[in-house]
Amino acid sequence: MDADFLPMLTGCFAKPVAENPTVAMVEAAYRHHGIHARYINCEVSPERLGDAVRGAKAMGWAGFNCSIPHKVAVIDHLDGLGDSASLIGAVNTVVRRGESWIGENTDGRGFVAALRTVVDPAGTTVAIFGAGGAARAVSVELALAGVRRIVVVNRSHDRAAPLVRLLNEKTNANAELVGWSPGYRVPESADIVINATSIGLFPDVEGRLDVDMNAIEPTMIVADFIPNPPRTRFVRDAEARGCRTLDGLGMLVNQGVIGIKYWTGVDVDPTVMRKALAEVLGV
């Protein structure tokens, strides 16, 4: 009997993880391309992260994704970092290379890949809401992609200041920090406006950014990181203003494409992955 009952193992370590839809799109890609692999969501508490990483190593996993709250803490359990992950200071994809486990960050690269289906970001001005891990990842990758100016809008000056300093010191972009006041008006010079906060994430599906939508011009491209629901209130409001929009599914799909390439060497079809996501999310 010529059979192989030992699939390559990949997955996601996070807490909570039950609502992470990545498993649906990755396994759809595995099936479509005939890749003998599985993707497993694993609920891992912070105090057990080291055990989980050692377990993945012991079981011969090809790699795994890390999500909240492990993207920074996992670095202590790895053998090295890729260039983007080192600059960003966070990891969302771990790859086994020989006997070494290397941390990469595909969040920002996935977003830039999705953005490039609409516009080349080089030379543009970006306004981004938030200064957490998602904002940090996408801001760094946008800067590396040639964005000229990045306005980081955040309520906490102390939390956002390190991101702005990183962008100004380590990239060619000109970054500035702006306090997020009630009814904030996006500057007219912004070409791309990005929500990198959790506002609007399920179950808070009607959550709305505290911004003056009258300042959002139809010429602006509006993007939202949130994949569930894909059409957030911010995306819908921007569409009503006549803007071109990007939902969080594009970023999620593209970072998945990059991750699977790391683990398997296969360039998978993103349309298969997006279709699978749309089905499980009911959109």
Flag whether pLDDT at 124 surpasses 70: yes
Quote the pTM value. 0.88
Amino acid 193: pLDDT: 98
Same domain (yes/no): 229, 116: yes
Helices in the chain by DSSP H: which ranges?
22-33, 49-58, 83-88, 107-115, 133-144, 157-170, 233-240, 248-264, 270-281
Residue 220 forms part of a structural domain: yes
Flag whether pLDDT at 76 surpasses 90: yes
Mean pLDDT of the chain: 94
Amino acid 132: pLDDT: 87
Residue with the two structure tokens 């809401």: 129
Flag whether pLDDT at 1 surpasses 80: no
Amino acid 2: pLDDT: 57
Q: Check which CATH number belongs to the domain holding 215 and give it.
A: 3.40.50.720
Name the residue with higher pLDDT: 206 or 102: 102
Same domain (yes/no): 87, 131: no
Domain that holds residue 35: 8-105+250-281
Tell me the catalytic residues: 71
146-168 pLDDT, tens per residue? 999 999 999 999 999 999 999 99
